Amino acid sequence: METNTAIYTERRTFGKYDAENIIGYLNEEQVQDYQPEGAEEPVTGYRYTGTERDGGTIMPCKDPTDYGQLVNAIIRASLTESEELAIHRHHQNDAETYAQEWTDYNAVCEAAKVTARQWLGMESEQ
């Protein structure tokens, strides 16, 4: 899958794309001393990498105000449902062999929860 990168002078989150999807800006990286075209002084920039030309990623999500749906959409940007189910089966059948895979999967899920809370303005909630 091809990815695209874009840099903005302000943080991006997500927006409604159509009735079934959102466009979200994932993989945020701060760019120090970013010099936007036409600007006199460098600023902090925010780089996003995604499947769309603007650095965004289209994700299935009917109700982006619902925390659970938003978390699931972010997870789906990294893992298909089939891949996620395989990880669960591996963990149940041979947790020792697949320990790193399980750790990586949990990191994806925790990062998705953090991102969803930030996007919904729930940063301080656990």
Residue 126 has pLDDT above 60, yes or no: no
**pLDDT of 61-99, one tens digit each?**
999 999 999 999 999 999 999 999 999 999 999 999 999
**pLDDT of 4-50, one tens digit each?**
999 999 999 999 999 999 999 999 999 999 999 999 999 999 999 99
Tell if the pTM clears 0.85, that is, is over it. yes
Tell me, letter by letter, the H, E, C secondary structure of the chain: CCCEEEEECCCCCEEECCCCEEEECCCCEEEEEECCCCCCCCEEEEEEEECCCCCCEEEECCCCCCHHHHHHHHHHCCCCHHHHHHHHHHHHHCCCCCHHHHHHHHHHHHHHHHHHHHHCCCCCCC
pLDDT at 124: 55
Q: How confident is the model at residue 1 (pLDDT cuts 50, 70, 90)?
A: confident
